[in-house]
Structure 1
Amino acid sequence: MSGDWAAVSAGLIPLALVVALSPISILPALLLVLYSTRPRAAGLAFAAGWVTGLTVLTVLFLNVPRLLGGSAETSSVWQLRLRLVGGAVLIVTGVWLWLRRKKAVRSSNWLDAIGRWSPVRTTTIGVAFGVLNPKIIVACAAAGLAIDAATLGPAAQVAAVGCFVAVAGSGTLLPVLAHAVAAKRFDRPLERLRAWIQRRQAEISAVALVVIGAVLLLTGTFGR
């Protein structure tokens, strides 16, 4: 992988999209800014927790090879393997979700109750959603290992992590920031988006998983 951080960051985009396109990234943010009793505080709190969780996971896996005494070559091998295995798992999961899409539950109790969360609890939940979701863990692990394998300098590593987290967190950040900046202008479109995603979350997840899984397989195969 090129030592140029911009080239490395471009390789991180497919991994970031795994996170950004997931309904688990978008739906909570939309529900908070639309239905919470304190929408701006709740939305910003969730976004802060979400971005913090993504950053912690990515930095953790960035440093795992070093903590275990591994080399950049070892990191490269592991991140390629993770892309291959993770890509295959995402595709299989996506196909399974697509086949079960008509049986999928369109809403759940935690989604209905999200508007009653306090900002403190919302921040904690935002972190938990990131660090406890297997799909998010795989994406952040592959990103962290890829950055480490590129043997970048400290400043370039920070830039690459920042690029990954910014794209990965965009599914949560964009609706929250849109509401915070101009709630009256964006709330109606956000409500339509929320309703559509909630109706089609199984299909959206399935398509996103298959597409991103295929990209991971391709980059893992030709990155060797």
Structure 2
Amino acid sequence: MGAAIGQILGFAVGVAISPVPIIALILMLFSKKATANSLAFLGGWLIGLTAASIIVLALGLEGSNGDAASGGWVKVLIGAAFLALAVKQWKGRPAEGTEPEMPAWMASIDEFTAVRALGMGALLSGVNPKNLGLTIAAAVAIGQFGLDTGEEAVVVSVYVLLASITLIVPVVGYLAAREKMTPALDAMKVWLMANNATVMAVLFAVLGAKVLGDGITILA
């Protein structure tokens, strides 16, 4: 089980470094329904990530029953897709000095209900292409260790917790010490909005190379 946890650490960090959900969460913390919406968003994120992990494990994409090749091909496809997305993000980054445009849904966060915040959290964790791809890769890695159900549950829990740490810390910190956290969160929001495309391009490139390499190793 320890080896499986070691394998999923990189994927969890990749999910945790998600500028858009972090920006959305910070905007919720600054909204008039900060407590209800931020907790709902975090809950939706945890539910989406957990559900995606369980579904992929249930589908058996890891190539169980001795067929490791299918898991290898899944990783090759995910890695190649990530590298393509890295190029797309790099080419689409805003010109220096240009203020990035905020998506319409993000601009309306102040009007979100708790239910909508919950749904948005689930979508950004379980359906977002980057996070879904990383969760599939993590589930493939977990499945190849032949763990029993209880051990898989522990590893998935560790994955979800680590992948959510960049959302858990701001929520807990802001609700516990609002005045102290506000300047730091505001600065983080501004930086992430300005550098989102660059961060994502670098992240996709690094993760794509790793996942593609893992897949090639399995197939070799």
Taking structure 1 as the reference length, the TM-score comes to 0.88
Aligned to 2:24: 28
Q: Is 1:95 the equivalent of 2:87?
A: yes
Deviates more, 1:186-195 or 1:87-96: 87-96
Taking the aligned partners of 2:65 and 2:22, their CA distance within structure 1 comes to 34
Question: Shift of the alpha carbon at 1:83?
Answer: 1.9
Taking the aligned partners of 2:77 and 2:116, their CA distance within structure 1 comes to 34
Question: Shift of the alpha carbon at 1:107?
Answer: 1.3
Partner SS, residue 147 of structure 2: coil
Aligned to 1:18: 14
Unmatched tracts of structure 1, length 5 or more: none
Contact 1:46 1:122 (C-alpha < 8 Å) held by counterparts: yes
Structure 1 residues 29, 78: closer, same or farther in 2, change over 3 A?
Answer: farther
Deviates more, 1:20-29 or 1:44-53: 20-29
Alignment size in residue pairs:
215
Partner SS, residue 73 of structure 1: coil
Question: Shift of the alpha carbon at 1:26?
Answer: 1.4
Q: Which amino acid aligns with 2:170?
A: P
Deviates more, 1:54-63 or 1:103-112: 103-112
Aligned to 1:214: 209
Question: Shift of the alpha carbon at 1:25?
Answer: 2.7
Aligned to 1:54: 49
Taking the aligned partners of 2:48 and 2:127, their CA distance within structure 1 comes to 9
Partner SS, residue 188 of structure 1: helix
Taking the aligned partners of 1:171 and 1:73, their CA distance within structure 2 comes to 36
Contact 2:137 2:211 (C-alpha < 8 Å) held by counterparts: no
Report the identity percentage: 26
Q: Is 1:127 the equivalent of 2:125?
A: no
Taking the aligned partners of 1:220 and 1:63, their CA distance within structure 2 comes to 20
Question: Shift of the alpha carbon at 1:223?
Answer: 4.3
Question: Shift of the alpha carbon at 1:172?
Answer: 2.1
Q: Is 1:8 the equivalent of 2:4?
A: yes
What are the superposed Cα offsets for residues 122-157 of structure 1, whole Å, 9 maximum, x if unpaired?
A: 112211222322222211122222222211122211
Taking structure 2 as the reference length, the TM-score comes to 0.89
Structure 1 residues 9, 102: closer, same or farther in 2, change over 3 A?
Answer: same
Taking the aligned partners of 1:33 and 1:119, their CA distance within structure 2 comes to 12
Q: Is 1:73 the equivalent of 2:75?
A: no
Deviates more, 1:187-196 or 1:121-130: 121-130
Aligned to 1:168: 163
Partner SS, residue 50 of structure 1: helix
Partner SS, residue 173 of structure 1: helix
4+ residue segments displaced more than 4 Å: none
Taking the aligned partners of 1:137 and 1:77, their CA distance within structure 2 comes to 20
Residue 111 (structure 1) aligned to one of 106, 111, 115 = 106
What are the within-5 Å matches in structure 2 for residues 124-163 of structure 1? 124-163=119-158
